């Protein structure tokens, strides 16, 4: 053994490793203050953030952007790749604030957008989307901008979002679109229960996304899962107010990527419109949702705790044959208990053309006003095991 260690090529390898390790440890640091950002909440710091980003992105060694305490006013910012390194961390001790006048960012898709990046981690930070003005406009029935998503990550991979708080987004809070390997942990989303279209986290066309230990209070879906989401894991999620965790709406388009291998494990829904939902348009489509697991879920006063709705057609418009082409299969509901705010706690309203198959109910107990709730099924098939209340209609 001693002899092999002194072999010249091994010695070279050891030196190489040493060099490699020390270069990995080195990090280029960029403080947004050095680029002119002001923590006063009123000075536009957009240029400073972009300047720090372009330096970090151009660094050939790992880079770190630091945002200190205080409030930083930002217009819409596009953090674009490709970058010269695959390890950019952004540490935020402060709050990023959107313009109070919703028109400034209301017509762009995203307030803060990361696109085409690999290896970006965001630690901490608060995003204050200042959505109240836009919601008031929308609720007044006037014509208003559709609003910006607060944080969008698109066409990217190897992303970490840890300990981020998103407040009062104009539209969606966080969108993951076209990404691979995204880890979100300890995310907090907060907006009033009546704020329009403020989905908490939306995931689509993405694989290997995990959302852990996150608390979402908002006016639309806590988590919405769009076409092309695969290998999605959600664990320890608290939702409410909000519209629950929703797979869909799927099947809006004829040609659509399916949703596959989605797990929700350990979740609490408090006073939400839905608990766990799968929803598809009553339109022709080749979309599908399969291998879905909902387990260890507590419902408190939830209007529709378990629901599959394949007859979505708002205003009964643009649904030519009023039947969904989306195939829903292998959906497991395991250890789900609590209270329903309506009599029908379990509703499987599936497509007459493509009935739901492989629905499994196991240890489900939902009550309505301290009594057994009801279940309603159409075109739904599957199996039941263990105690299931309301009595299954599969
Ligand atoms: C399902 O997704 C999980 C991650 O959420 C992954 O670990 C697992 O390998 C996937 N299963 C299949 C069959 O792809």
Q: Which atom of ligand 1 is nearest to the CA of 233?
A: 5
Looking at residue 19, what is its pLDDT?
Answer: 53
Decide if pLDDT at 345 tops 90: yes
CA–CA dist 3, 25 (Å, integer): 30
Looking at residue 321, what is its pLDDT?
Answer: 75
Choosing from 243, 296, 337, 354, which is the catalytic residue? 243
| Distance between Cα 145 and ligand 1 center (Å) | 39
CA–CA dist 59, 55 (Å, integer): 6
Decide if pLDDT at 28 tops 80: yes
Averaged confidence pLDDT in the chain:
94
List Cα–Cα distances, 207 to 197, 253, 371, in angstroms. Answer: 24, 20, 41
Q: Which residue has the least CA distance to atom 2 on ligand 1?
A: 231
| Residue 38: DSSP 8-state | -
Q: Which atom of ligand 1 is nearest to the CA of 230?
A: 2
CA dihedral 248, 266, 208, 346 (to 10 degrees): -20
221-394, which class in CATH? mainly beta
Decide if pLDDT at 8 tops 80: no
Looking at residue 24, what is its pLDDT?
Answer: 53
Confidence of residue 2 (pLDDT cuts 50, 70, 90): very low
Q: Average pLDDT, stretch 44-56?
A: 98
* Residue whose CB lies within 8 A of the most ligand 1 atoms, among 212, 231, 293, for a mutation test: 231
CA–CA dist 222, 147 (Å, integer): 18
Looking at residue 379, what is its pLDDT?
Answer: 97
* Domains 33-189 and 221-394 in one fold: yes
Q: Which residue has the least CA distance to atom 6 on ligand 1?
A: 231
Q: Average pLDDT, stretch 179-195?
A: 98
Decide if pLDDT at 375 tops 80: yes
Contact 310, 277 (CB under 8 A): no
Q: What is the phi/psi pair of residue 81, to 5°?
A: -100, -165
CA–CA dist 55, 164 (Å, integer): 23
296-315 confidence digits (pLDDT tens): 999 999 999 999 999 999 98
Q: Average pLDDT, stretch 28-41?
A: 98
Q: Average pLDDT, stretch 140-155?
A: 96
Q: Parse the chain into domains and list their residue ranges.
A: 33-189, 221-394
200-231 confidence digits (pLDDT tens): 999 999 999 999 999 999 999 999 999 999 99
Residues having CB within 6 Å of any atom of ligand 1? 231-233, 261, 263
Looking at residue 9, what is its pLDDT?
Answer: 58
Looking at residue 45, what is its pLDDT?
Answer: 98
* Residue whose CB lies within 8 A of the most ligand 1 atoms, among 207, 225, 261, for a mutation test: 261
Confidence of residue 35 (pLDDT cuts 50, 70, 90): very high
Q: Which atom of ligand 1 is nearest to the CA of 260?
A: 1
Looking at residue 70, what is its pLDDT?
Answer: 98
Residue with tokens 């720090």: 52
CA–CA dist 270, 221 (Å, integer): 13
Decide if pLDDT at 22 tops 80: no
CA dihedral 28, 30, 31, 34 (to 10 degrees): 120
Sign, CA dihedral 45-97-126-68, equals: positive
Decide if pLDDT at 5 tops 90: no
Looking at residue 213, what is its pLDDT?
Answer: 98
| Cβ neighbours of 87 (radius 10 Å) | 18
List Cα–Cα distances, 182 to 212, 268, 320, in angstroms. Answer: 11, 23, 37
To 5 degrees, how large is the angle CA 62–CA 189–CA 239? 125
320-344 confidence digits (pLDDT tens): 878 999 999 999 999 999 999 999 9
Q: Which residue has the least CA distance to atom 8 on ligand 1?
A: 231
Decide if pLDDT at 54 tops 90: yes
Looking at residue 4, what is its pLDDT?
Answer: 45
Confidence of residue 367 (pLDDT cuts 50, 70, 90): very high
Q: Which residues contact 217 (CB under 8 A, 6 or more apart)?
A: 189, 190, 191, 193, 239, 240, 241, 242
Q: Which atom of ligand 1 is nearest to the CA of 231?
A: 2
| Distance between Cα 9 and ligand 1 center (Å) | 40
Looking at residue 320, what is its pLDDT?
Answer: 80
Strand partners, 302: 340
CA–CA dist 182, 232 (Å, integer): 10
| Distance between Cα 104 and ligand 1 center (Å) | 41
Q: Which residue has the least CA distance to atom 1 on ligand 1?
A: 231
Q: Buried b / exposed e across 117-155, counting CB within 10 Å, b at 16+? A: bbbbbbbebbbbbbbebbbebbeeeeebbebbbbbbbbe
CA–CA dist 27, 22 (Å, integer): 10
Q: What is the phi/psi pair of residue 335, to 5°?
A: 55, 65
Q: Which residue has the least CA distance to atom 10 on ligand 1?
A: 231
CATH no. for 33-189: 2.160.20.10
CA–CA dist 95, 29 (Å, integer): 19
Q: Is 235 exposed, middle or buried (0-12, 13-18, 19+ CB in 10 A)?
A: middle
| Distance between Cα 331 and ligand 1 center (Å) | 15
Q: Which long-range contacts (CB under 8 A, 24 or more apart) does 84-87 make?
A: 84/57, 84/58, 84/59, 84/60, 85/57, 85/59, 85/60, 85/61, 85/119, 86/118, 86/119, 86/158, 87/62, 87/63, 87/119, 87/121
| Distance between Cα 261 and ligand 1 center (Å) | 6
Q: Which atom of ligand 1 is nearest to the CA of 261?
A: 1
pTM summary value: 0.93
Looking at residue 322, what is its pLDDT?
Answer: 81
* Residue 202 annotated to the active site: no
Q: Which residue has the least CA distance to atom 13 on ligand 1?
A: 261
| Distance between Cα 55 and ligand 1 center (Å) | 36
Decide if pLDDT at 108 tops 90: yes
| Distance between Cα 231 and ligand 1 center (Å) | 5
Confidence of residue 20 (pLDDT cuts 50, 70, 90): low
């Amino acid at each position: 053994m001693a002899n092999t260690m002194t072999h010249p090529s091994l010695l070279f390898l050891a030196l190489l490793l040493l060099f490699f390790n020390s270069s990995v440890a080195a990090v280029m640091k960029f403080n947004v203050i050095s680029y002119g950002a002001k923590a006063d909440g009123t000075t536009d710091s957009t240029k400073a953030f972009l300047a720090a980003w372009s330096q970090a992105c151009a660094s050939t060694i790992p880079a770190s952007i630091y945002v200190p305490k205080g409030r930083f006013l930002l217009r819409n910012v596009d953090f674009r790749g490709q970058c010269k390194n695959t390890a950019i961390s952004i540490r935020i001790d402060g709050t990023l604030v959107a313009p109070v006048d919703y028109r400034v960012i209301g017509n762009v898709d995203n307030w803060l957008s990361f696109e085409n990046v690999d290896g970006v981690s965001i630690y901490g930070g608060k995003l204050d989307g200042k959505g109240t003005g836009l919601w008031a406009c929308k609720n007044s029935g006037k014509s208003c901008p559709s609003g910006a998503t607060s944080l969008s990550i698109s066409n990217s991979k190897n992303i970490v979002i840890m300990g981020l708080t998103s407040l009062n987004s104009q539209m969606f809070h966080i969108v993951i679109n076209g990404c691979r390997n995204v880890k979100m942990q300890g995310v907090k989303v907060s907006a009033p229960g009546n704020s329009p279209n403020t989905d908490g986290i939306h995931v689509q066309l993405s694989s290997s996304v995990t959302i852990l230990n996150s608390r979402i209070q908002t006016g639309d879906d806590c988590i919405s899962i769009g076409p092309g989401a695969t290998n999605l894991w959600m664990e320890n999620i608290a939702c409410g107010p909000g519209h629950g965790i929703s797979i869909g709406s799927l099947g809006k388009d004829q040609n659509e990527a399916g949703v596959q291998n989605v797990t929700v494990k350990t979740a609490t829904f408090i006073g939400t419109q839905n608990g766990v939902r799968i929803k598809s348009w009553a339109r022709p489509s080749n979309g599908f949702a399969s291998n879905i697991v909902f387990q260890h879920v507590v419902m408190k006063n939830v209007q529709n705790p378990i629901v599959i709705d394949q007859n979505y057609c708002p205003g009964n418009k643009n649904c030519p044959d009023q039947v969904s082409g989306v195939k829903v299969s292998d959906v497991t509901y395991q250890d789900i208990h609590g209270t329903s705010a309506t009599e029908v706690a379990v509703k499987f309203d599936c497509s007459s053309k493509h009935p739901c198959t492989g629905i499994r109910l196991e240890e489900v107990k939902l009550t309505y006003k301290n009594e057994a709730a009801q279940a309603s099924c159409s075109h739904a098939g599957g199996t039941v095991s263990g105690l299931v209340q309301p009595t299954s209609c599969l």
